[in-house]
Amino acid sequence: MNTIDLRRSIEHAKRLEEQHGLLAAQLSQKKSSLHRAIKIPLDNTVPVLLDFVVRYIEHVAEFVDVLSIIGINASCCEYTEAVVNFCTNTFDQTPSLLTEQELTEQNALATFMVQAYIAHRVIEEVNEHFFQQCNAPLIPMDMTRSNLIIHQLIGEPHANQLDLVAQDVAEQLERDYWRLDRDIFDQSASRKIAWGIEITHWPCLTDTLAVNLLLGQGSAEAKNIH
């Protein structure tokens, strides 16, 4: 699936959610059990959470578009396109870890939330692997807080299983496509594209989602909310 089709599918899922409200109902059940580090307006909890989930899903398309451009300009298309292909194909396939409830067409937005979580976690893992090699992320984004919140919304042990899938995929991508020891990869070009030119063209890289997760005070506890 390319990002144009992905965006169309997301819009369709949003319309289904407006008609049936299944994800909103799930979020309403979840809100009372969310960790206290997650700060949401008490009088508008479900709409805020729903908007957060939609934007989280939409960010996958934005991020993979950025990755494609970084790959072209930094001469590492083989690696970035492998990440892009996995993330977009995640929305084409039905992950075996989806629940029966999430597989219904009317609940497409919940399905996308799970699929987006896998994609975001793969990008997060790839960034960590890249940072260890280059002292800079491949893509200048940090979705750690957002991923922790979605982890809570999906719930355990389901989200933990998805984390394992993401870790395995990132490790496989590194084994199959990592080429930092060859001349085909220009680290300085990647940093210039990621932190300079492209960041001004992609608001998603600096976007602040509405739901907040406090990782400053009592950070040890907050980081272990899952």
Reported as a pLDDT band with limits 50, 70 and 90, residue 57 is: very high
Whether the pLDDT of residue 205 is over 70: the answer is no
Across the range 129-151, mean pLDDT stands at: 81
In tens, the pLDDT along 8-31 reads 999 999 999 999 999 999 999 888
Reported as a pLDDT band with limits 50, 70 and 90, residue 222 is: very low
Residue 38: strand pairing partners? 213
Across the range 72-96, mean pLDDT stands at: 80
Whether the pLDDT of residue 216 is over 50: the answer is no
Mean pLDDT of the chain: 77
Numbers of helices and strands, H then E, in the chain = 9, 2
**Pairing label, strands 38-39, 212-213:** antiparallel
Omega prior to 157 cis, within 30 of 0: yes
Extract long-range pairs of 216-220: CB within 8 Å, 24+ residues apart: 218/37
Give me the number of domains the chain comprises: 1
Q: At what angle do helices 3-20 and 108-134 cross, to 10 degrees?
A: 140
| pLDDT at 117 (0 to 100) | 95
Question: Global pTM?
Answer: 0.82
Tell me which residue range forms the domain holding 165. 3-222
From the list 103, 91, 85, 74, the residue with the least C-alpha distance to 187 is 74
Reported as a pLDDT band with limits 50, 70 and 90, residue 91 is: confident
Whether the pLDDT of residue 99 is over 70: the answer is no
Whether the pLDDT of residue 156 is over 50: the answer is yes
Reported as a pLDDT band with limits 50, 70 and 90, residue 1 is: confident
Amino acid at 14: K
